[in-house]
Amino acid sequence: MSLPRQRITLVTLGVADLDRARRFYDGWGWSAHSASQPGVFFYQMNGAVLALFGRADLAADQGRSSATLGTGAVTLAQNCADDGETDAVFRAAVAAGATILKRPETAFWGGYSGYFADPDGHVWEIATNPFWPLAADGSLTLPDP
Amino acid sequence: MSLPRQRITLVTLGVADLDRARRFYDGWGWSAHSASQPGVFFYQMNGAVLALFGRADLAADQGRSSATLGTGAVTLAQNCADDGETDAVFRAAVAAGATILKRPETAFWGGYSGYFADPDGHVWEIATNPFWPLAADGSLTLPDP
């Protein structure tokens, strides 16, 4: 089988406290998959999987047990159908304990976007992009300019 | 339109040198989409998009211009069809300038996995997971246990 070169199948977030992280994602409205195991939680997304894994375990798995892993320079965006959904998704995250970085506002590029950090500092952008329509399953295919 | 709650539409990597980052991803075999613009490169993936964006610009967009954004605690996994493909994808990244964190090896959980860091410290896991079959488009749906 030859697979497309450009793909992400799994995004793993290293977390300091696995139960705290799971409470946040569950509180935001996500549901862990039954494939989850002690020490790792999996969430099915649109064709890929989000995983929560202990940060020290992740550093060890990366082959550098003593490394201190940082956050912030990766943002995970969840594009929404419209500004109302962006506001609702953002509010739900804040209610679940997210730290607000920037409340949703009109962006210079013509969309509507806000940022929050999860309890471990992982950054999510919640956005509406009127130029990039989403499929019904939440997937995004770039339009030709 | 009601979209699934559990989705990532865009993964943005904050980078110190946009041209260096693009050379790495192109060298690894990726092709930027024509929707790319000065200051940001987009790559179409399996139902989602990878973006390269200046790290200082990203911090500003997050509403914290003076923040130093860190890397390492998020891993982006590219699961492969078999160990041979995992080796080939890993080798191509190293040839393009990746820093090896752990060469692909048999993992305790029954798969085969290696880690590298891109020029900005963003971490990729290249892996074979015999328990998680991939679709032809490279997407991953978790099997029931």
- Count the Cβ atoms, other than its own, within 10 Å of residue A109: 12
In chain A, pLDDT over 90 holds for what percent of residues?
A: 94
Contact B69, B59 (CB under 8 A): yes
Contact A31, A43 (CB under 8 A): yes
Cβ distance B101 to A63 less than 8 Å, yes or no, reads: yes
Rg (CA), chain B: 16
Cβ distance B79 to A144 less than 8 Å, yes or no, reads: no
Cβ distance B73 to A29 less than 8 Å, yes or no, reads: no
- Alpha carbon of A71: minimum distance to chain B alpha carbons (Å): 5
Residues 76-105 on B with a CB inside 8 Å of A are 76-82, 85, 89, 101-102
Confidence at A136, pLDDT banded by 50, 70, 90: very high
Model-level pTM greater than 0.90? yes
In chain B, pLDDT over 90 holds for what percent of residues?
A: 94
A5 vs B contacts (CB less than 8 Å): 28-30, 89
ipTM over 0.90: yes
| pLDDT at position A1 over 70 | no
- Which residue from A34, A40, A38 is spatially nearest to A15, judged by alpha carbons? A40
Q: Domains plus CATH for chain B?
A: 1-67 (3.10.180.10), 71-137 (3.10.180.10)
Query: Which residue from B minimizes the CA distance to A138?
Result: B3
pLDDT in tens, A39-49: 999 999 999 99
